[in-house]
Amino acid sequence: MKDQFYNYIQQLQDTITSKLESIDGKAKFREDHWKRPEGGGGRTRVIENGNVFEKGGVNISAVHGKLPDSMQSYFGVEDADFFACGLSLVIHPKNPMVPTVHANWRYFEMYPSAAIRQAQLDTLRTGSEKKIIDQWFGGGQDLTPYYLFEEDAKHFHQICKNACDKHNPDFYPNYKTRCDEYFYNAHRNEARGIGGLFFDYCKASDGMSMENWYNFVTEVGNSFLEAYVPIVEKRKDLPYTKEQRDWQEIRRGRYVEFNLVHDKGTLFGLKTNGRIESILMSLPPHVQWVYDHHPEVGSEEEKLIKVLQNPREWV
């Protein structure tokens, strides 16, 4: 399964980056390969200063080794080895009428630690191959607009729902709700964006084998470009003012707050000694913090905030 999924995200990275480059028409993704000292590494692709995309990263990584102490308590295990691979992307467009998008699809395996395997070998003579203790998929995709075009929100969610419905009619409502709950800036009492899908710990169970989960997760991965690209095409050439650009930069500050204060993915990267520039590629290029900023009553900016304070059903 880990080889199958890693092959998939390698191809998906190619598909997504070549499509985004063709839309941008100017900037190209720069590619960096990196190694994690404790095991594994990744292939980071970052685009900057394009016609359409001001900054974006589409990264894959596969890391393995001893589960860091800080993650052991998180997963409630005492001593284990792990393997994790995934694709993470964050795209910050230049035009404030085009939403920022984030997506991630990941696979995780946990094994008895080398020490435990040795102990088993010593006492039970049961062999020392790595047995999987636990394995699961996680991921999702979500949209963060600076100006709310309801038809864009509906389109994004409709594509998410279509991908889910092929597998289970409960998936979309469940994972839509979890997305609203997860991407929430509790200290601001508002959602980061207008949501999408978020799922985690997707494990083999009665109805779903790991192969079924693989099919679901890749279905969502395959839907990404269909969910995002039409919105980019429709909004990328809209005119905008300096005030609208300022608003985008202020809202990007909320994005930074979420990623650095609340996001478990960022935390996981920092705690597993991931490559810092690959983890923090998610941070926007130009950002503002203005003291006690509030949009004008009745403005488009206020309309967005109200939706972020009270997540809506879009389909």
Where along the sequence are the contacts to a second copy (CB under 8 A)? 30, 32, 46, 48, 55, 57, 187-188, 249, 253, 256-257, 260-261, 270, 276-277, 280-281, 283-292
Residue 208 has which token pair?
A: 């779903």
Beta strand pairing call for 30-35 and 80-93: unpaired
**Cβ nearer to a second copy, comparing 152 with 263:** 263
State the nearest-atom distance from the C-beta of 277 to a second copy, in Å.
5
**Cβ nearer to a second copy, comparing 81 with 190:** 190
Q: For the beta carbon of residue 205, count every other beta carbon within 10 angstroms.
A: 10
Beta strand pairing call for 30-35 and 40-48: antiparallel
Active-site residue identified among 33, 64, 92, 102: 102
State the nearest-atom distance from the C-beta of 46 to a second copy, in Å.
5
State the nearest-atom distance from the C-beta of 270 to a second copy, in Å.
5
**Cβ nearer to a second copy, comparing 1 with 287:** 287
State the nearest-atom distance from the C-beta of 302 to a second copy, in Å.
17
- CB-based burial of residue 194 (10 Å sphere; 0-12 exposed, 13-18 middle, 19+ buried)? buried
**Cβ nearer to a second copy, comparing 219 with 257:** 257
Using CA atoms, how far apart are residues 236 and 280, in angstroms rounded to an integer?
25
**Cβ nearer to a second copy, comparing 194 with 281:** 281
Using CA atoms, how far apart are residues 137 and 218, in angstroms rounded to an integer?
10
State the nearest-atom distance from the C-beta of 287 to a second copy, in Å.
5
Using CA atoms, how far apart are residues 6 and 1, in angstroms rounded to an integer?
8
Using CA atoms, how far apart are residues 62 and 45, in angstroms rounded to an integer?
15
With residue 118 as reference, give the H or E element that holds it.
Answer: helix 114-124
State the nearest-atom distance from the C-beta of 103 to a second copy, in Å.
18
**Cβ nearer to a second copy, comparing 204 with 261:** 261
Determine whether 102 is an active site residue. Answer: yes
Packed helices 150-165 and 171-182: angle between N→C axes, nearest 10 degrees: 130
- Rg of the chain taking only CA atoms, in angstroms: 20
Q: What is the distance in angstroms between the CA of the first residue and the CA of the last residue of the chain?
A: 33
Contact 222, 294 (CB under 8 A): no
Point out the residues that are catalytic. 102
